[in-house]
Amino acid sequence: MTPALLDLIADMPSCAYCVPFMDAGLQRKFVDALRERGCLTVGSTYGKAAQLETALVRATLSTTDLSFCNAAEQSLLFGDTASSAPAPGQLRFVTRGASGVSVFQGDHRTDLTGHPVAVVDPTGAGDTFCGTTVARLLLGDHPVEAARRGNAAAAEMVTALGPTMLWQPGPPPLPHADHRARVNTDVVDRMAELVAEMADLRGFDFTGDLFPAVGDPATIDWFAAATLQQFGFWYSADDHWDRSMIDAIDGTTRKGSDYLWAVYRRWATADPNAMSAAGQAAVTADTWHALAAADDGSDPFPEPNLCAELAAAYGTTMQHLGLTPTELISVAAATAHPMRSLLTLLDHVGGYREDPLRKKSALLGVILRQRPERLLPAAERDDAPPIVDYHVQRSCLRTGMVAIDDAQLAAKVQARTVLDEDEEAAIRRATFYAVARLCERSGRTMGAVDWFLFQMRHRCPEVATPVCADCPADPQCSHLVQLFQPVRRTTFY
């Protein structure tokens, strides 16, 4: 068997998984040949090859776009230090048995816990994880979400002999759900009927004084650099939500998101090259403090060091990928599914890649699609995923579209107490599914639905008394105004 056989394939697939072949040298030749033919390459290994041909296997898996190995193989091949991470643009999935899996997006690592099951036959668990994960990636999933699905499939696989579970009818298993929060489908469906009838509902076009002028050639660079900072505009005190970020900039008092946009407009005006990858990579905490200063000279951002770190991570990864933001968008725009392609590309970019639910990535895609220039083309079956921030979560909880069935968690949300990671994730994931259903049932775009929900912050704000009579959701709202949003510091939103 030689790579020359690939020339006999009339319709070369876009992605190919190269097995170890029991011959590490042959695997490397096939990987190289597949890459030359434009394939997305996937590779794995096995213990003996990792032990006996360590350097060759390491080089091969460092070449593939996606690689799979177990924890022992990872240690042999790459070590266990931060420097062992794959290069920017590459994904590595390291299975750890019952302990779960580690997902590497370049040098960004996410650890997922395993699924406790009664093991009958472990044969095929690794292949099931690999196959499911790759399939989900090709369908457009975030790498961490793809691995969650792979984890669930592998856990089911080992509960019966051989390939028994692969033969079962029905869809593959889903990851375990946290039932403390759930979608209230009745409320969502009633709200969807209301949204469907809103003839004037449109997505925001992101134009005006806070944004680049229509036709500005630096528009994509500006939005790509600024949107990744759309997170965390609030302060905590004594393990509770305390207040929103509000301050004066250039003579105008602005809140949260609008303050952030104003900072970036001022920054780009002062230094037109600042939005480039090199400009963002050079950001430090000190430069951020100066750039973000309010009229009184203070930096009002609750976590300024995180802002500086994300800017630098964004610039550094973009430099390593060898792409400008405009080039990245052009690559996505040229595909059959521009939004899906953009989200997949951003899974490799610091500041965007970290969130499995892709809030900031989806927001950037919607911005570019809804700008008058239509910088990201629309396509059939290519809408953005839900853009789930704390305003949207608060709206979903107060309207009743998301229900918290756990009394202890509901009490913490009502008291505005800082939540544990799993508590916040339960509410946010339920909100994600609720908004997805709202979009599907209403027949409206995600941009329009997101604007409908986001605008509720003016009628149902964090602190002031809700003005229900002025809210378009009022006819179908459950009016659970005692509820708040999940309070947890994250760079996701």
Rounded CA separation 109/82 (Å): 9
Quick check: 337 and 382 in contact, CB under 8 A?
yes
User: pLDDT tier at 84 (50, 70, 90 boundaries)?
Assistant: confident
Topology at the third CATH level for domain 3-167 = UDP-N-acetylmuramoyl-L-alanine:D-glutamate ligase (3.40.1190)
Among the ranges given (24-28, 62-66, 80-84, 429-433), the one the predictor scored with the smallest mean pLDDT: 80-84
CA distance 10 to 6: 9
Distance separating alpha carbons of residues 175 and 115, to the nearest angstrom: 8
Contact 18, 32 (CB under 8 A): no
Domain residue spans in the chain?
Answer: 3-167, 219-476
Reported as a single tens digit per residue, the pLDDT across 384-419 is 999 999 999 999 999 999 999 999 999 999 999 999
**Distance in angstroms between the alpha carbons of the first and the last residue of the chain:** 51
Residue 319 and residue 281 in contact, taking contact as beta carbons nearer than 8 Å: yes
Closest CA to 364 of 261, 212, 256, 220: 220
Per-residue CA distances from 134 to 15, 57, 145, 404 (Å): 9, 20, 11, 33
Q: What is the DSSP string of 8-52?
A: G-SS--SEEEE--TT-HHHHHHHHHHHHHTTPEEEEE--HHHHHH
Question: What span, in angstroms and rounded, lies between the C-alpha atoms of 4 and 173?
Answer: 39
* 143: nearest Cα among 78, 94, 179: 94
Q: Which residues contact 297 (CB under 8 A, 6 or more apart)?
A: none
Grade residue 68 by pLDDT with cuts at 50, 70 and 90: very high
Nearest to 186 by CA among 491, 480, 476: 476
**Contact (CB, 8 A) for 220 and 329:** yes
Per DSSP, 210 falls in state T
Q: Is the pLDDT of residue 376 over 80?
A: yes
pLDDT at 308: 99
Query: Are β-strands 240-244 and 234-237 bridged in parallel, bridged antiparallel, or unpaired?
Result: antiparallel
Distance, CA of 192 to CA of 444 (rounded, Å) = 9
CA dist 374 to 322, 323, 343, 382, 454, Å? 24, 21, 17, 14, 22
- CA atoms of 305 and 328, how far apart (whole Å): 27
Convert the pLDDT of each residue in 338-358 to its tens digit: 999 999 999 999 999 999 999
Binning pLDDT at 50, 70 and 90, where does residue 80 land? confident
Q: Tokens for 158?
A: 């080992």
Q: Are 183 and 434 in contact (CB under 8 A)?
A: yes
Q: Which run of H or of E encompasses 425?
A: helix 421-442
Q: How big is the chain by its Cα radius of gyration, in Å?
A: 24
Per-residue pLDDT at 81 exceeds 80? no
Q: Which residues pair with 101 in a beta bridge?
A: 95, 112
What pLDDT does residue 455 have?
87
Q: How high is the mean pLDDT of the chain?
A: 97
Nearest Cα to 129, choosing from 91, 100, 168, 107?
Answer: 100
What is the tens place of the pLDDT at every residue in 423-432? 999 999 999 9
Q: Tell me the per-residue pLDDT of 252-275, one tens digit each, with 9 for 90 and over.
A: 999 999 999 999 999 999 999 999
* Backbone φ and ψ of 392, nearest 5°: -65, -40
Look at residue 83 in the predicted model and tell me its pLDDT: 74
| CA 83/CA 360 separation, integer angstroms | 27
Q: How confident is the model at residue 1 (pLDDT cuts 50, 70, 90)?
A: confident
pTM: 0.96
| Residue 247 burial class via C-beta count within 10 angstroms: exposed 0-12, middle 13-18, buried 19 and up | buried
- Tens of pLDDT, residues 145-174: 999 999 999 999 999 999 999 899 989 999
Q: What is the pLDDT of residues 90-125, one digit of tens each?
A: 999 999 998 999 999 999 999 999 989 999 999 999
